[in-house]
Amino acid sequence: MAWTDERVEQLKTLWAEGLSAAQIANKMGGVTRNAVIGKVHRLGLSGRATPAKPQRGRSLIADKKEDAAMRKAPAPEMKSVIPEPEFIEPVVLESGDRTTVATIKNNMCKWPVGDPAKDDFHFCGQSTLSGKSYCAYHAHMAFQPPQRRTETRQPRRVLANPAKRRAAG
């Protein structure tokens, strides 16, 4: 299929109306979605008057009215649904050691603490939530809702030696 002047004008018109490349390909016939995308880029048509929207039998006027109403409405305030639980120190076993691969049990938090190549590496060891691998605090860190993943959070420093913690604090 050759891009005639008429077909290029039709492409420009449909693109300006906000149709997607797939919708344009369907309307024009004899052209693929990828061919439309390629031609759009070669023509430099990257900007559009309106974003592409799936057409579901609704009128363009109804869509524009709905868009205008949504732009006027204030954005809903995003609140954290799950409050962050309080941090609890990793478990110290009766022997005075921390939880290791050799001492960890099924109901203990498997959150790694420290560098696995170092001797002081251990796991949190606190009681886990039912059916989870982590305690409430570490589960909260590991399983964040999607909107929180984009936030920048400073990692918490956990010092293995309590004496170092008091000196640093």
Q: Count CB atoms within 10 A of the CB of residue 99.
A: 22
Which residues have C-beta within 8 Å of that of residue 156, sequence separation ≥ 6? 87
At residue 26, the pLDDT reads: 92
- The letter for the amino acid at 50 is T
The model's pTM is 0.37
> Which parts of the chain have pLDDT scores under 70?
1, 46-85, 144-169
Long-range contacts of 3-12 (CB under 8 A, 24+ apart): 3/39, 7/31, 8/39, 8/43, 11/36, 11/39, 11/40, 11/43, 12/43, 12/45
Per-residue pLDDT tens for 22-42? Answer: 999 999 988 999 998 888 888
At residue 6, the pLDDT reads: 92
3-state secondary structure of 21: helix
At residue 56, the pLDDT reads: 57
Domain spans in the chain, listed from the N-terminal domain onward: 1-54, 83-144
At residue 10, the pLDDT reads: 92
- The letter for the amino acid at 128 is T
Beta strand extents in 109-164 (DSSP E only): 112-113, 122-123
3-state secondary structure of 116: coil
At residue 131, the pLDDT reads: 77
Q: What's the Cα-to-Cα distance from 74 to each of 64, 69, 71, 77, 151, rounded to whole Å?
A: 18, 10, 8, 9, 21
